[in-house]
Structure 1
C-alpha cells in the first residue's frame, strides 16, 4: 500500500470536518508556491574518496531552466557529456578537475543530479534566494558500486583500485576482503568459501528468468581468472545479451577472450587470423614479452585528467606519455581495431611493444573501449602492478581509475 497517499487522504478529510463544524471559517486560498530562484551553481564531483575528480560528467538540476545571472532564458547547446532527461533543464559538464559551474532557474526544493557512465548521484539542495551557491565537494557514495561485480584473477587486482577510490577498506595497498561495496566472485580459487565462484554469474539462482549477471551493472574480469568455464557457447551468448541490454564489462590482459570470443568484430588480436566477424583461436594472442616498460601515448581527455591528479615518484604524465610497467610473460597483444569499427572503438592508450615474432618495438593499442547495443566493453592489455605502492597511485592505476568512470 502507498502510505503517502493514505496520509494525504487523511489530512484532506480532517480539513473538511473542521470546515463542516464551523471551525475553519470557510475555505481559504492555498498559499502560493515558493518562487523559483536564479542561482549560479558550482562544486566539484569526486569519487567516494572525496579526492579523485570525475571528469566530463553530466550535472543538472531537476525541473530547472537554463538562464543567465539576470534570470533570462538562454538557448541550450548540446553538451559533450550527455543530455538531461528533459533537454531544457539547466546542465553542465564537469571539467578535468571534476569542477562545474552553471546558472539555473531552480525550483524551491531543487535536486542536483550527476551522471557519469554507470554512476548516478542525487543531492538535495537548499536555496534561500538568488545568487551564488557553491555546493562544495560532491562525492559519490560507496553504495554507488553496489551493483558492481569483480571476478578475481591471479595477475590483476582491479578490486584494489576500486578500494583505493573509496569502495572498500585498504590495508597495505590492498582491499580488505569483506569491506568491499561491490560483489566479489572467486575466479582463481583465491577467496574464502563464503564467496561465490565466477560461474555463479551465469546461473539463475534467484529464479527471475535470467542469469544473475543481469543483476549487476558492471562486471570486471581480472587477468588470470579461470576463464574456460566462462567461454562455453551458452555463456558467450549470455555475455553478449548482457552487454547489448546495457551491461558493461571490463577485462584485462589474459582475460581478453572474454572480449574476443563474445565481440570478435571489434578488435584484431595478434597470434591468430580469422574473419572479422569470427573469434580468433583461444589464448593465441598471449605472446607479449615480459619486463617491458612502455611510455604510452594517451587520449587527450585522459591526459588532461592525469595532469590534475597525483602519482607516486613524480607526475602521472610527462611529455604527453604515461609510464606503464608490470607486463608479464605472455600478455595478450592487440594488433589493432578492425577497419569497419574504427569509428566505434576508442583507443585510450597505445605504445611501442615487442612480442613473439616481433623483436623490434611496434606501436600497438594498449587500452580500448567500445559500445555494443546499450552497453559498453573496455579492455586493457596491461593491469595493476604486483608491486603497487601501499599508499598513492602508479600512473597505470590512475588510468584504470579513469576508466572505471568511463564504463
Structure 2
C-alpha cells in the first residue's frame, strides 16, 4: 500500500512538470505570434509552481516573461517595465547559481533594450508634462545602467519641473554623494553629403573626417554641473522651509565654485527671506563686486537699501544701475521715489510745529526742503520721458508728485499725456 502512495505522488509531480512545459511553450508561441497578452496569460498559469522547477526551466520561463513584459511596456503599458526587469534579473541569478548559462545573454540584451525603451518613454512623459512619471522612469534607467549617471541628473531635473521636491532632493543628494560632475566633450562634424551636424565618438569622427565623408570637426566642452547640483539642493531645502540645511548647501556650493555670482545671490535671497537684511546687504555687495555690470544685481541692492531706509545707498545703487542700463524703468521710478520718501520724512516735523515766529520759520524751511526733494524726483522722471514718452508708470508717478506740490499746470499737462 505504501508503494502505491509514492507512485501516485511521483505521477503528480510529473503531471505538474508537463503542464508547466506546455504553458511555457504556449507563452513562447503566442509571443512569437505577436500576442503578448495571451503569452502573459499562459505564463501566469505556470507561475505558482515555477520556483519549484529545475533551473533550466526557470531560466526559460523568466526569459520569456522578460520578453513578454518588455513588449507590453514598449506598447505603452508603463506598469510592465518593472516586471520585465525583475524577470531578466531572475534569469541571470538562476543561471549564475546553476553554473549553466543559456538564457543569460537573452536577459542581458533584454535589459539593454528595456533601458533604451524606458528612457524613450521618459522623454515622451516630459513632453506630455508628466514629470513625475518621467523622473521615475529615468531613475529606473539609471538603476539599470548605473554608469549612465546622466539619467539620474535628468531624473532630478524632471522631478523639479513637476515640483516633486522631496524626490528631486533625493536624486540630487545621490548625485552629490557620487561626486557627479557632468562635464565632458561632445565631438561633432558636418556630413559632407547632407550638410547636417552629426555627433559621434572621437575615434569615429576623426576617421570620417580623414576619409573625407565629414568636415569641420568641433570639440564642444560641457561645463561641470557640480555647482548647479548643490545650488539646486539649497534651493529645494529653502523651498521645503529647511533654511539651516539650505545655508549649509550654499556653503558647499560656494566651496565648489567661489566665483559663481548666482550662488551668492541665492544665499543672499535666503537671508532676505529669513529676515536677515544686513546679511543680505553684505552678500549683495559681494555680488555687485563680482558682477559690476549686472543691472539686476545693482537694482536689487538699491531695493533692499531703500527698504531699510538707507536712501543715500539706495540712490547710489540705482544710479549705478542706470549707468549700466539707462532704460531700466524700475530703477528710474525707485530713484525718484527715494527723493519723495525723503521729502515725506519731513512732514511729521512740519506738522508738529506751532504758530510761533520761530516755528513758522522752521516750517517754511522744511517745506522748501521737501519741495526741492519732490522737484528732484520730478526732474528724474521728466528726463526719463525723453526716451519713454508714453510710459504709464513714469507719467502716473510724475502726476502724483506735481499734485503733492500743488503745481496745477504741470499736473494738468501730465494728466493730459496720460489721456485722462
* TM class, shorter-length: under 0.3
Q: Which of 1 and 2 has higher RCO (CA within 8 Å, sep 6+)?
A: 1
The higher radius of gyration belongs to 2
Q: Which has the higher helix share?
A: 2
Q: Which has the higher strand share?
A: 1
TM-score scaled by structure 1? 0.20
